[in-house]
């Protein structure tokens, strides 16, 4: 369980969605490839039954691990809804990658294929003001 928490926490704290990175690397540029690698790593950690999908039950279990914090639960709910492109109640690895790519593109203001620390900060600030979807 601690491994799940350690892997997923950067995803939830440093948005946009799967395109952000936690820790000291916030001050470093991030490439699309790095964002996709992080998204894949987090997806694999959230997919606790390793069936290739993240389900609402797995999201709920993670939320409970986080103490049902309303801010985190709201972000998780929004990210899950945004990533579930076909609305089947689960997120595939392909959907997670597509969501990570969309978040990366939205944050890449100058379209150079790299997220600068300033672009990442702007994305975090924008995400903090978004209302979770219910």
Interior CA angle at 67 toward 65 and 70, to 5°?
120
Q: Return all residues near 97 (Cβ < 8 A) that are at least 6 apart.
A: 36, 39, 40
In CATH, what number is assigned to the domain containing residue 36?
1.10.238.10
Residue range of the domain that includes 36: 2-128
pLDDT digits (tens, 9 = 90+) for 68-84: 888 888 877 888 889 99
In a domain, 134, yes or no: no
pLDDT in tens, 7-51: 454 444 334 443 344 445 667 899 999 999 988 998 998 999 999
First vs last C-alpha separation in the chain: 27
Of 76-80, 114-118, 128-132, which range is least confident? 128-132
Count of structural domains, the chain: 1
């Amino acid at each position: 369980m601690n491994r799940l928490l350690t892997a997923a926490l950067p995803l939830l704290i440093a948005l946009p969605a799967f395109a952000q990175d936690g820790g000291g690397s916030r001050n470093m540029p991030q490439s699309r490839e790095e964002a996709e690698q992080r998204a894949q790593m987090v997806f694999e950690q959230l997919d606790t039954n390793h069936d290739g999908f993240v389900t609402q039950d797995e999201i709920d279990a993670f939320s409970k691990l986080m103490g049902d914090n309303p801010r985190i639960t709201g972000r998780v709910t929004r990210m899950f809804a945004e990533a579930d492109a076909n609305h089947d109640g689960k997120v595939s690895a392909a959907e997670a990658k597509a969501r990570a790519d969309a978040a990366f593109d939205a944050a890449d203001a100058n379209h150079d294929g790299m997220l600068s620390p300033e672009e990442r900060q702007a994305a975090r600030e924008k995400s903090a003001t978004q209302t979770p979807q219910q």
